[in-house]
């Protein structure tokens, strides 16, 4: 380990400059040092990344004052999460792209288990972390991804209908008046629109069937000029290759000319599953897409040019052609996964598969955000606190992603060299002039250098 006289390392200097930029994005000068402390607390070793344990590690000689300062920053201070995340993007995306360009925007959501009913957004709903329905908060995220790295750039809590219409619970949790009920695809599309408006480097939009099966979501992406490869349900209604709806009825002698497309008992769409089964296993081709823990990942796929058929009988022109990508693993009785894509007709099967399967990369982000940076450790109940804590977790994680992109693959939370304590002149909001101490509950743990 470098001696105290050796001065800050290059990594320490990069971290200091990065945190200074985030602190300025948060606005008022009173927030600058607490924000830097909070991010350092998330990056330091420690099993629990809630406010009090972090305060004990950062300032063991004045834990209570530090706790009050961190709590005010996260739960009460009115800084803008989107402005801080925009600053994170400005500083980190170029480093991320040193090994390759942005290839995808990935939409996903994650569940954070919670007990009780008072924490904002908590309801009995699907929780991926538990693999079942249970009490949890669910947040929607938008990530940018290169071939090797990904980073969340937007984050929003999903507010279930029971919360959206309960005025008393909203008031207690501080849910802003302008926030109403939105489906997860609606939340995701709003994030994507903002990213387009802010000229974030674009990629092919990837999402699972919870989003891709929503026709309005797909139409919204196409309306923004974005390409996508999104999961869909096997029941999705599609026209067979080379087919489309019947033209409007012939014009009659009187009345307005018919304009709407038609179907008939003999001419109607099929489900994605029916199309895949009709094609037969023999036309599926084996494709590999990346290295896994036990070797190269491979499966069998088929791609067909089809037209979506969703309510096209209310349209004057048929939906444009899309790719239907189907996976039928060897040994499975029938296909297991389906995707729809508006990529060009000349797109290869291998590229379709690589993009469809690239969504996996955000699982690594969620795992590290939860296990190493305490994404689910916030103990408050408010809308502001939930989003402020998540924003700082993502910002801290972003620094690690950028460090790995600078050929430091060992950069992990708890392994960075972080200078402690902060300057003696710093006094957190509410601190006593003589300092305050708290002992016994938490030990100060030394930061480690990246290997």
Distance between start and end Cα atoms, the chain: 10
Whether residues 347 and 226 share a domain: the answer is: yes
Indicate whether 183 belongs to any domain. no
Q: Which of 354, 369, 400 is the last residue of a domain?
A: 354
d(CA 74, CA 428): 14
Same domain, 349 and 384: no
Give residue-wise pLDDT tens across range 4-55: 456 788 889 999 999 999 999 999 999 999 999 999 999 999 989 999 999 9
Q: Which of 84, 93, 207, 230 is nearest to 150 (CA)?
A: 93
Q: Is residue 187 part of a domain?
A: no
Q: What is the mean pLDDT of the chain?
A: 89
Q: How confident is the model at residue 435 (pLDDT cuts 50, 70, 90)?
A: very low
How many of the other CB atoms lie within 10 Å of CB of 34?
23
Domain shared by 383 and 336, yes or no: no
Q: pTM higher than 0.85 for the full model?
A: yes
Could you tell me if 331 and 401 lie in one domain? no
Given 319, 354, 389, which residue is the final one in a domain?
Answer: 354
Regarding whether 230 and 341 lie in a shared domain, the answer is yes
DSSP string, 289-305: EEEETTEEEEEEEEEEE
Residues 31, 89 within the same domain: yes
List the single range of 60-64, 177-181, 275-279, 446-450 with lowest mean pLDDT.
Answer: 446-450
Predicted local confidence at residue 82, as pLDDT: 96
Residues 344 and 387 in one domain: no
Q: Is 288 contained in some domain? A: yes
Does residue 442 form part of some domain?
A: yes
On whether residue 262 sits in a domain, the answer given is yes
Q: What tens digit of pLDDT does each residue of 411-423 get? A: 777 778 776 654 4
342-356 per-position pLDDT tens digit:
999 999 999 999 999
- The verdict on 229 and 332 lying in the same domain is yes
pLDDT of residue 3: 46
- Could you tell me the residue range of the domain that residue 238 belongs to? 221-246+258-354
From residue 182, alpha-carbon distances to 163, 167, 176, 303, 361 in Å are 11, 16, 14, 33, 26
Question: How many structural domains does the chain have?
Answer: 2
Domain boundary, last residue among 338, 354, 370:
354
- Whether residue 428 sits in one domain with residue 383: yes
Same domain, 280 and 384: no
Residues 115-170 pLDDT 10s? 878 899 999 998 877 778 889 999 999 999 999 999 999 999 999 999 999 999 99
Tell me whether residue 149 is in a domain.
no
Q: Which of 244, 228, 187, 202 is closest to 339 using CA atoms?
A: 228
Residue 153 lies in a domain: no
Q: For residue 434, what are the contacts with CB-CB under 8 A and spacing of at least 6?
A: none
In this structure, are residues 108 and 141 in contact, taking their beta carbons and an 8 Å threshold? Answer: yes
Instruction: Please indicate, yes or no, whether residues 320 and 236 belong to a single structural domain of this protein.
Output: yes
Residue 346 shares a structural domain with residue 386: no
Q: Determine, yes or no, domain membership for 323.
A: yes
Q: What is the pLDDT of residue 64?
A: 96
């Amino acid at each position: 380990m470098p001696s105290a006289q050796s001065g800050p390392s290059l990594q320490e200097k990069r971290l200091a400059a990065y945190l200074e930029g985030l602190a300025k994005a948060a606005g008022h000068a009173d927030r600058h040092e607490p924000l830097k402390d909070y991010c350092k607390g998330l990056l330091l070793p420690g099993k629990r990344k809630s406010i009090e344990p972090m305060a004990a590690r950062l300032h063991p000689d004045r834990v209570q004052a530090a706790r009050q300062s961190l709590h005010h920053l996260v739960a009460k201070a009115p800084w803008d999460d989107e402005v801080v995340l925009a600053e994170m993007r400005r500083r980190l995306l170029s480093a991320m792209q040193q090994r390759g360009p942005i290839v995808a925007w990935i939409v996903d959501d994650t569940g954070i288990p919670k007990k009780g009913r008072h924490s904002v957004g908590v309801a009995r709903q699907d929780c991926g972390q538990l693999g079942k329905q249970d009490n949890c908060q669910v947040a929607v995220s938008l990530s940018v991804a290169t071939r090797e790295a990904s980073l969340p750039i937007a984050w929003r809590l999903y507010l279930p209908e029971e919360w959206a219409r309960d005025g008393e619970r909203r008031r207690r949790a501080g849910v802003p008046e302008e926030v109403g009920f939105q489906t997860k695809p609606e939340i995701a599309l709003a994030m994507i629109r903002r990213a387009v408006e802010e000229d974030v480097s674009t990629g092919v939009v990837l999402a699972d069937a919870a989003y891709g099966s929503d026709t309005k979501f797909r139409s919204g992406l196409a309306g923004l000029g974005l390409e996508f490869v999104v999961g869909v349900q096997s029941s999705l209604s599609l026209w067979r290759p080379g087919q489309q709806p019947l033209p409007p009825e012939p014009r009659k002698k009187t009345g307005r000319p018919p304009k709407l497309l038609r179907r008939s008992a003999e001419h109607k769409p099929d489900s994605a599953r029916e199309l895949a089964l009709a094609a037969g296993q023999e036309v599926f081709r084996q494709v590999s897409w990346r290295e896994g823990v036990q070797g190269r990942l491979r499966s069998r796929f088929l791609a067909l040019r089809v037209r979506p058929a969703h309510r096209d009988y209310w349209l004057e022109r048929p939906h444009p052609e899309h790719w239907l990508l189907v996976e039928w693993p060897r040994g499975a009785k029938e296909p297991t996964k389906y995707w729809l894509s508006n990529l060009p007709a000349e797109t290869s099967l291998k590229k379709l598969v690589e993009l469809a399967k690239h969504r996996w990369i955000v699982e690594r982000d969620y795992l590290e955000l939860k296990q190493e940076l305490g994404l689910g450790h916030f103990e408050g109940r408010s809308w502001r606190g939930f989003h402020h804590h998540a924003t700082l977790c993502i910002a801290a994680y972003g620094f690690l992603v950028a460090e790995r992109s600078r050929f430091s693959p060992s950069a992990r939370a708890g392994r960075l060299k972080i200078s402690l304590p902060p300057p003696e002149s710093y006094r957190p909001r509410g601190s006593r002039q003589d300092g305050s101490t708290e002992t016994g509950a938490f030990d100060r743990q030394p930061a480690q250098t990246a290997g």
